[in-house]
Amino acid sequence: VLTKKGKGYKPAEESPNKFHGTGPFDIATGKKITNPNAPVSYTEVFGKTLSKLADTDDKIVGITAAMPDGTGLNIFAEAHKDHFFDVGIAEQHAVTAAAGMAAAGMKPVAAIYSTFMQRAYDSIMHDICMQKLHVTLCLDRAGLVGDDGYTHHGVFDYAYLRSIPNMTIMAPKDENELQHMLKTALDFDGPVSVRYPRGSGVGVALDTQWQDLPIGKAEVLRTGKDVCFWAIGSMVQTALDAAELLEAQGISAGVVNMRFAKPLDVELLREHAQSYGKIITLEEGVLAGGVGSAILEELNENKLLEQCEVRCFGIPDEFVMHGDKKLLFRDLGLDTPTIAAKAAAFVKGEEE
């Protein structure tokens, strides 16, 4: 028995990789129906940035596990074919191979979907982190993935990576910050993870010169006095939008772009716990063991929970079904209007 992708439909037979998972397309031509005005995707920004960085650094190596197009490494492979390795559907091998290359002095970048990186948990722990090797794990499809479906939601990586010693975890607020984080990761010396969502970016301008970000330092985007959002990655824009809605209600909300899930910006967190007295964490990941948990642990360790109330918003303790991302966010209470309403009730002491 031979399984042939796209059998009976010529466009899919000719480009099976493009039809592995697809949105709307024209049946007659096979061309995808896309929004020409949509911002560039995180995946494309990753591929182009890594390729440009490799132009001046021959130690950079790109590795994936049968997902070169899906991760954007196809862009890197075209320009640096001798530095690209696709190991097939073998995530554990991709990660362990990256560890070996790092031990030999290379700068391996393993680009794998967040949900599939779970398969390599043991390899990350023993082969990379225990050895303190400089491997960059780039987790595409982090968060809710919409049309990719039930098994592909990448909502566990904050939790399963945060528990591993020596791991540094970053998440960009937009596609431009992804460029800077990738450079930061490659200039870093140790295990590091960069996670970003499926699909289009926020739509910001892309810098042509990149700089290293200070490790473990957050970015204050908005100051306030009633409550402060500590948001990471894709939820930063949601926090900014929610703060605008709150302002219309007379509530002053600050917004912090955490940038790092590990290490936390402990100094800023302690300051905000005392000055605001109310903090809301936002993450597109599971609450159990996630970024909100990290903040609660830190505040508890410093005996600041007596001075500061905290509410954590993220993915509840359940598997999220297939569905349109906007509808899933609405149903999970992670859409902007719901977060703003919950934040207002938190500030006013009117929570149910």
The amino acid present at 76, given as its one-letter code, is: F
Query: Alpha-carbon distance 161 to 47, whole Å?
Result: 23
Q: Choosing from 18, 48, 59, 119, which is the catalytic residue? A: 119
Looking only at the bridges linking them, the beta strands covering 136-140 and 192-195 are parallel
| 330 catalytic residue (yes or no) | no
Residue 258 DSSP one-character state: -
Looking only at the bridges linking them, the beta strands covering 219-222 and 227-231 are unpaired
| 244 catalytic residue (yes or no) | no
Burial status of residue 48 (CB atoms within 10 A of its CB: 0-12, 13-18, 19 or more) = middle
Q: Tell me the CA distances in angstroms from 274 to 101, 194, 260, 267, 305, one per residue in order.
A: 45, 30, 21, 11, 10
Element (H, E) at 189: none
Q: Choosing from 52, 91, 141, 195, which is the catalytic residue? A: 91
Print the SS3 string covering 87-117: CCCCHHHHHHHHHHHHHCCCEEEEEEEHHHH
Query: Alpha-carbon distance 163 to 142, whole Å?
Result: 18
**What order of strands is seen across the sheet that includes strand 168-170?**
84-86, 60-64, 107-113, 136-140, 192-195, 168-170, 260-262
Query: Alpha-carbon distance 113 to 279, whole Å?
Result: 31
Residue 124 DSSP one-character state: I
| 183 catalytic residue (yes or no) | no
> Of 21, 24, 44, which is closest to residue 33 (Cα–Cα)?
24
Query: Alpha-carbon distance 165 to 137, whole Å?
Result: 15
3-state secondary structure at position 335: coil
Our measurement of the distance from residue 198's CA atom to the centroid of its chain's CA atoms, rounded to an integer in Å, reads: 9
Q: Choosing from 5, 31, 32, 348, which is the catalytic residue? A: 5
Structure-token pair, residue 224:
């306030």
Catalytic residues: 5, 91, 119
